[in-house]
Structure 1
Amino acid sequence: MIYLGVDSLHKLSPMIRLNEDDNAVISPSWIQVYREISEWAILFNIIRKTQFGSDTLIVFDGLLRSKVFTGALFHQLLVGLQEAIQEHARRYRRKIYLVGLAKHSKVLSRYRLAMSLEDVMTANYPCYVEIPRDIETKAYVWPEYARGEDSEVEGKEENKFVGGKMFFVKFGKSPHDPVWPVDVFEPQTQDAAAVMGYLLADAENGFPVPFYPLCLQKAHENAALVDFDFDVLQDEIFDGIRKLLGKDSDVLDAARFQDTDPSQRRY
């Protein structure tokens, strides 16, 4: 926020609003927006402040594009990332690559069958293909979500939402191995071959999901709130509710033992 020159979340994103009116309807989607902004902030912090000891590929969970920022703030954020990457190369002689990998994409969903019929990416070896911007545009309701710096149109607004060039990538050697949508950081499109090589080396060791980057799988495992961590958090929540209920707290314990879905007994 300091780098972008904003001092309030509602100025950072139009989807997070001030709650000045008691009768205002607050959309619950602001939580997802806040999470996305936090993810971009963490990425920004890592690239801007970390001193890397070797050439490094940073894998972002999702495509390198966003529509939750106000105006051109996302574009400014991308400029800040590029500045930091160039500074690493100048000062430390380290190449920092940035790529985003998504589990799903409207572009891939739209053309998956056509690709199979035309034997695209069905080779018996890992492969990737660059997706033209006009192909992307046909898959999105809002064409600006596919318009990058390499496809500026006269009379149209400048790119505010897209920071990557899309590729389809298959890491396995079987024609039936999964294909993933990948965004290479747009200023690094010319280094796509090197980026895919790094991704391939990581994906070949993927477990338990084969041919999916191991770094993302480890990140998901560390971030997931399950088992003991989830039980601890849940107990803390119930303790807080008990304090609010006071002498009626025993009602909460009785409610926890009630079967909320008796219909499941038929299974």
Structure 2
Amino acid sequence: MTKQIQDQLNRKLYLKNTPKRIVSLVPSQTELLVDLGLETSIVGVTKFCVHPIHLKKSKTIVGGTKHINIDKIQSLNPDIILCNKEENTKEIVEACQKICSTHVSDIFNIEDSLQLISQYGSLFDKKEEALKIVNKIQKEADDFKTFIQKKPILKVVYFIWKNPWMVAANSTFINYVLGLNNFENVYETKTRYPEIELNNSTIYKDVDVVLLSSEPFPFKNLHKKELQTFYPNATIELVDGEMFSWYGSRLTKVFTYFKNLRLNLEAFQAL
């Protein structure tokens, strides 16, 4: 009997059997597959699929998230290919569809993430495992909401790149996560990941916190001093970019991280 599945772009997929050979082109979704107990079904991943770290040694690497080796993917004879609207290009999705069923996620908030986890539960016959992850995320999110509602709103800039300087703005999962943390994104009036100018005429004295992401640009301590000139009154913090931009089962860990981040910021600002 053919199973009909709808992805998060409302595209219909028709599957005769539960997919057993999976190619994942999205690192956070690869991590989710493993946490659902599907590691043995994964046949292909990207070079950025680093969790768990041993996957890159045991699975075929088919490229990155923006550039793939379509012939290598086809040679793996997958039953399904997993993509994401932001991570992968339209051209990649179209090329993958010519090989086999291709599921595309589209994530803007936790509700979207929970829906994706549930979809994977149905798609791969892992409903019980998916429900456990969903319930844990919901509990962690509710606990964090109680914690953070008592905290003041802080004006924040979230950097993702240098040369040129780029920040996370509106219409991104990162911006949504900043809001969960009672962080007011200074660049919320812009969209996606705009380039910004930093020079002697752009001194932002009213910014409370500057967050430097570990990915995609690997910010280090030396960049904190460089940015302090432009944000003289801000606390500048290196943060784990995966916690702000990965979804799926990573959400079971993020709220403990966010709580500790807020407490560390409070301790630093009290000095």
Indicate the structure with greater strand content: 2
TM-score (norm 2): 0.24
Q: TM-score, normalised by structure 1?
A: 0.24
Indicate the structure with greater helix content.
Answer: 1
* Bigger Rg, structure 1 or 2: 1
